[in-house]
């Protein structure tokens, strides 16, 4: 499929996805009602619901999907491993330990967000310190350090879950499976997404070169060390912003870049914007279904990303 056609299709899909998210919920709105409420006209309840609840929610879902997809693309290029996802380096593990520990202590929502941010930051610095600064820069060392740290955090998370009481466990599971009902730092997330997405697209040639391995990339004139560091911190910032928005939502960061690749796009110049658009619209769709299908009960969005994504990816794999 030509990249330009795919870009057009995904732009349409993004608009449709956002519209679908704005229309559906406990108070269903028609496209016309959504439009007039957006312009501040018509039913005041509709305006209230749209501006206070739905618009922040769909914007958070879109940004979160885009952030995760972009982080996945960058980490797959940095680690030269197509199985890398935003959580592989232990960033989500650190955030989960922070968030769950705060929940166990009965901290407020704001304190919980702060604790998860702190946990993620600690993990980022630990992996960077142990994996990067130790002698020769070795990407396998970085990967292993991250995976080991992830495993450690996983154990602590299990421990915290065991220690928690009934209602706490549910909140913890929601955080672990991803939940967009308390999006925090929406403006920060969009700024990170737009700035890093634009930078990554503009300098995407370097990412293509990096795929050939560090020797080849250096021989082609890339400052490999500086690029690796920049990629690491960019991916970390993207992941942290996504975690703050919606917890550890699985599947999107690993699979969206692969879905675009399976459609025949490999050059990062196209892969980056297309993955971001696909990730964003996909997560809006998944989140809308998660909050409406069993309403008033809201389901964790992470369940839907996998339930929707698995058949789609299997279909794509079968087609190729």
Partner 1 sequence: MLQAQNLTVAIGGKVVCRDLSVTIRRGECWGVLGQNGAGKTTLLRALAGLHLPQAGEVSWDGRPLQATVRRELARHLGVLPQNEGGEFWGSVLEYVLLGRFPHRAPWFGYSAGDERIARQALTQMELVELAHRSLNTLSGGERQRAAIAQVLAQQAQCYLLDEPLQHLDLRHQGQAMREFGKIREEGGALLVVLHDILWAQRCCDRVLLQFADGRVLHGAANELLTREHLEELFQCPLREMGSAGEGCFVPGV
Q: Which residues bind partner 1 (CB under 8 A)?
A: 80-82, 202-203, 205-206, 208-213, 215-216, 218-223, 261, 266-267, 269
Whose CA is closest to 249, among 122, 105, 72? 72
Q: Using an 8 Å Cβ cutoff, are 274 and 69 in contact? A: no
The DSSP code sequence of 198-224 is: HHHHHTHHHHHHHTT-HHHHHHTT--H
**233: its two tokens:** 């911190």
CB of 203 to partner 1, least distance (A): 6
**294: its two tokens:** 């069993």
* Residue 15 or 198 having the CB closest to partner 1: 198
CB of 199 to partner 1, least distance (A): 10
* Residue 90 or 257 having the CB closest to partner 1: 257
* Residue 148 or 218 having the CB closest to partner 1: 218
Instruction: Give the list of residues 6+ apart from residue 209 with CB closer than 8 angstroms, or none.
Output: 216, 217, 220, 222
CB of 180 to partner 1, least distance (A): 31
CB of 204 to partner 1, least distance (A): 9
* Residue 80 or 182 having the CB closest to partner 1: 80
* Residue 265 or 283 having the CB closest to partner 1: 265
CB of 12 to partner 1, least distance (A): 24
CB of 6 to partner 1, least distance (A): 15
CB of 209 to partner 1, least distance (A): 5
What are the contacts of 172-175 at 24+ separation with CB within 8 A? Answer: 172/100, 172/103, 173/300, 174/247, 174/300, 175/96, 175/99, 175/100, 175/103, 175/116, 175/247, 175/248
* Residue 77 or 249 having the CB closest to partner 1: 77
* Residue 139 or 284 having the CB closest to partner 1: 139
* Residue 235 or 240 having the CB closest to partner 1: 235
**Rounded to the nearest 5°, which phi and psi values hold at 273?**
-60, -35
CA distance 256 to 177: 18
CB of 116 to partner 1, least distance (A): 32
Q: What is the dihedral of CA 121, 82, 80, 129, to 10 degrees?
A: 20
**170: its two tokens:** 């549910």
CB of 271 to partner 1, least distance (A): 9
CA distance 84 to 143: 9
* Residue 118 or 214 having the CB closest to partner 1: 214
Upper half-sphere CA count for residue 102 (Cβ side, 13 Å) = 19
Length of the chain as a residue count: 320
């Amino acid at each position: 499929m030509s990249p330009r056609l795919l870009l057009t299709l995904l732009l349409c899909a993004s608009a449709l996805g956002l519209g679908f998210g704005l229309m559906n919920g406990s108070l269903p709105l028609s496209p016309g009602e959504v439009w007039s409420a957006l312009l501040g006209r018509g039913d005041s309840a509709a305006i209230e619901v749209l501006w206070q609840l739905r618009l922040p929610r769909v914007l958070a879902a879109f940004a979160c999907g885009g952030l995760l997809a972009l982080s996945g693309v960058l980490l797959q290029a940095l680690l030269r491993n197509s199985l890398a996802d935003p959580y592989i380096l232990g960033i989500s593990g650190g955030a989960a330990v922070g968030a769950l520990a705060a929940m166990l202590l009965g901290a407020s929502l704001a304190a919980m967000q702060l604790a998860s941010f702190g946990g993620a930051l600690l993990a980022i610095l630990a992996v960077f310190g142990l994996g990067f600064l130790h002698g020769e820069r070795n990407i396998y060392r970085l990967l292993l350090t991250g995976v080991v740290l992830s495993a450690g955090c996983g154990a602590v998370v299990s421990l915290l879950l065991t220690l928690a009481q009934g209602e706490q466990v549910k909140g913890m599971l929601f955080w672990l499976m991803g939940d967009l009902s308390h999006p925090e730092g929406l403006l920060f997330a969009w700024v990170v997404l737009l700035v890093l997405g634009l930078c990554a697209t503009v300098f995407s040639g370097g990412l293509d070169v990096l795929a050939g391995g560090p020797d080849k990339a250096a021989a082609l004139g890339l400052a490999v060390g500086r690029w690796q560091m920049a990629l690491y911190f960019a991916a970390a910032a993207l992941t942290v912003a996504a975690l703050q928005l919606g917890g550890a939502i699985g599947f999107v960061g690993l699979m969206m870049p692969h879905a675009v690749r399976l459609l025949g796009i490999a050059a990062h110049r196209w892969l980056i914007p297309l993955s971001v658009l696909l990730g964003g619209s996909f997560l809006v769709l998944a989140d809308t279904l998660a909050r409406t299908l069993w309403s008033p009960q809201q389901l964790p969005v992470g369940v839907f990303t996998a339930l929707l994504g698995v058949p789609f990816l299997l279909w794509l794999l079968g087609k190729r």
